[in-house]
Amino acid sequence: MPNMRVSSSAALKKRLERYLDLGNQPDRRTLVLDVLPTFEKLGRTAIFGGMVRDIARAGPSGYSSDIDLVVDPFDYSGFMDAMRSLGARANRFGGFALQLGAWKVDVWALADTWARTAGHRRVETFADLVDCTFFDWDAAVYDLERGEVIVADDYFARLGSGVLGMNLRENPNELGSAVRAVRRATLWRVKLSGELADFVLHAEQRWGWDAFTRLDAAAFDKPVLRNLERSKLDGSLFSGCSRLSTKSQRSHAAAKAQPMLWDVPIPGHL
């Protein structure tokens, strides 16, 4: 498979613009004409996380129809009224989940992003969001109004390293984050940083591998973990992890020197 990954903000901006070009992408008519305008009329809006990441990493073919949005509302109470009228339901991260046509949408008011309300990060602008994701590869924002890609200086180097790491360790869903880490490592055939592997091990020791496989089967249309042999993972993912040692809190660069490899080619979607 050819390498579809972009290596600069300019290249990612062009790719996102093409993706959202109604003339070139008629199959995305609902997104361009209905979904995004629904939120843009409520305030300045940015696409955040998975869509930007997947288009950066694998091109449009690597992306499916769910989207994370952050809105800086013109009027906060008006934003909340709109969520109620749209039938949105609260999610555990401080935002709302809703379905608009074929598009599954998770949306947050900027002031309600979980990292801010939980006191872990100061969030005042879209640029602050890049410090708020659990996975470092998810730390990408596309400001729709300005047509601006917002990422950390080393984002594309991280994306190109083949090592998936952690950005903000704290989150309200330890088990879910650990399951996603295993899924991503498997489906994308990438390595986990030592810090992220330690996080997964901690969650596995707390919850048990059966809980991993049950959540994977319940939360995703195409489960992956039930196809993995847990007994074989200690020598790939968990060997070298020292979650009880302060040395386990390694930088991304140090983790890259001793990566934890998943090499189990299982088909499916994240």
Q: Which helix (H) or strand (E) holds 9?
A: helix 9-19
Q: Which of 154, 171, 206 is the last residue of a domain?
A: 154
Shortest CA distance to 167 belongs to which of 57, 252, 44?
A: 252
- Residue 237: its pLDDT value, please? 57
Q: Which of 154, 189, 204 is the last residue of a domain?
A: 154
- Residue 65: its pLDDT value, please? 67
E-state strands within 112-228: 140-143, 148-151, 163-164, 191-192
Q: How far is CA 40 from the centre of its chain?
A: 22
- Residue 257: its pLDDT value, please? 37
pLDDT string in tens for the chain (270-residue length): 467 889 999 999 999 999 998 766 666 888 898 999 999 999 999 999 999 999 999 888 767 668 999 999 999 999 999 999 999 999 878 899 999 988 899 999 999 999 999 899 999 999 999 999 999 999 999 999 999 999 999 999 999 998 999 999 998 899 999 999 999 988 888 888 989 999 999 999 999 999 999 999 999 989 999 988 877 666 555 544 554 333 333 433 443 333 333 333 333 335
Shortest CA distance to 69 belongs to which of 33, 32, 44?
A: 44
- Residue 159: its pLDDT value, please? 93
Q: What is the domain range of residue 37?
A: 9-154
The answer to whether position 269 is within a domain reads no
The number of beta carbons lying within 10 Å of the beta carbon of residue 195 is 19
Q: Assess whether 13 and 117 both reside in one domain.
A: yes
| Total-model pTM | 0.84
Shortest CA distance to 144 belongs to which of 28, 33, 17?
A: 17
The answer to whether position 245 is within a domain reads yes
Q: Indicate left, alpha or beta for 17 from its phi (over 0: left) and psi (-120 to 50: alpha).
A: alpha
Tokens of 5: 């990954």
The answer to whether position 1 is within a domain reads no
- Residue 151: its pLDDT value, please? 97
In whole angstroms, give the CA distance from residue 263 to residue 268: 15
- Residue 172: its pLDDT value, please? 87
- Residue 154: its pLDDT value, please? 95
Q: Assess whether 141 and 250 both reside in one domain.
A: no
